[in-house]
Structure 1
């Protein structure tokens, strides 16, 4: 995979898909930094051991600038952080777009110089985490869905603009995965069963099953892959 010793930044790497992804990179010998919104990593019991922690609040431009300035060289950026604000108090539309789209643009843009300094044979890699909601309409979380759909186009735009610097940019579209963000739905027996019944593989995915494709996209095995959208949803979206 040519990822041993790679410098990796996983935003939102304290739980769920982000934590599983950070562990996967640690397991292949990468040096990993994760981010969360709180001051210290002790607030996150699921955070992977062995990863460096920095605070990053996506709505704070100064946080984005501070985190980006800490890297002279970066081999892999996983733009995983984001969210809906929760089922009880969802983000308003503007906040959802700021957190799930604008922050991805600004962080990637700020880190372009560090990514261009990568010495990996396959070049630097950016993996943006979108959502299966990028592919179909949903009555839930309109700002989140719109932002994640825009992430797909942003991925293609960055893939073209950053290619001359040897930076590949791809997107992963996860399906239904139990995480702290989806807990309200995953823990509802009726919703859980409905999602499983509508999925050809008849179950929810796991965070580790999302980490595998992310690792692939960052690795030498995907060295000629850029601008691609990889769907990992058990077949759910092909029926919509």
Structure 2
């Protein structure tokens, strides 16, 4: 459904917006009438999206990035915490650096942008926060102890935010994508991708647009009574978890 005129001015910020799922979310919200900004390590962003170079592992950079968005577009009303990395390896081979890099970006980085965004949301008594987690948060995944831990942590974070700020008009939800066709999955060989698809009840890998469409609903006014939810976009792979 097309966003009505009174909502078309809402300011949305997506982290990790330069490619993949983040870029698809930014484009989908842009096309729905939102004024969209994107954080990435560079200022690369889809056309029509304000690109802001921001290292979310640096608290001062996060403050500066928000200040830029606020000056250019206005207070952030919608936040999608999407930025994430992988450093996959088996537990016994995983270094402290493999662990820490993933935690710093996927979990601590999300915490920083959520904390900063909620200042304005509470004042406005309106806010929509969506964290992009993963099906492995609940299923687990060999070789991804670090990644799965951070993605599970986002669920606890968002549900705590939902309880803290629900009375202030702020919702906080989680989307858990399954196997999505992105640069991360392109490194898998054909046999592995086929094996994954065979495990998925709908019989295919998902697309970034599948995730973006779920996010579009969760940040809309229509979703004002949806908070603390974990919304799977995984073709049924994680059902029951």
What is the TM-score of this pair, normalised by structure 1?
A: 0.88
Per-residue deviation, 1:117? 4.0
Where do 1:181-220 residues align within 5 Å? 181-185=184-188, 188-220=189-221
1:38-75 CA distances to partner (integer Å, 9 max, x unpaired)?
Answer: 2x42xxxxx42100000121222221121233335211
Q: Tell me the SS of whatever aligns to 1:8.
A: strand
Equivalent residue for 2:48?
A: 50
Per-residue deviation, 1:95? 1.4
Per-residue deviation, 1:85? 4.2
Contact 1:156 1:227 in 2 (8 A): yes
Per-residue deviation, 1:114? 1.7
Q: Tell me the SS of whatever aligns to 1:35.
A: strand
Q: Which has the higher contact order (CA 8 A, sep 6+)?
A: 1
Per-residue deviation, 1:14? 1.0
* Structure 2: stretches of 5+ with no match in the other structure: none
Equivalent residue for 1:99?
A: 105
Contact 1:9 1:78 in 2 (8 A): yes
Equivalent residue for 1:165?
A: 168
Contact 2:56 2:112 in 1 (8 A): no
Give the number of aligned pairs.
228
Where do 1:10-159 residues align within 5 Å? 10-38=14-42, 40-41=43-44, 47-70=45-68, 71=70, 73-85=75-87, 92-118=98-124, 123-159=126-162
- Which stretches of structure 1, 4 residues or more, deviate above 4 A after TM superposition? none
Contact 1:83 1:96 in 2 (8 A): yes
Per-residue deviation, 1:182? 2.5
1:12-37 CA distances to partner (integer Å, 9 max, x unpaired)?
Answer: 11111111111111111110001111
1:99-138 CA distances to partner (integer Å, 9 max, x unpaired)?
Answer: 111111111111211222447xxx3100000000111121
2: CA distance, partners of 1:182 / 1:65:
32
1:127-165 CA distances to partner (integer Å, 9 max, x unpaired)?
Answer: 000000111121122111000001011110011112232
Contact 1:155 1:170 in 2 (8 A): yes
Q: 2:9 aligns with which of 5, 8, 26?
A: 5
What is the TM-score of this pair, normalised by structure 2?
A: 0.88
CA RMSD of aligned residues (A): 2.0
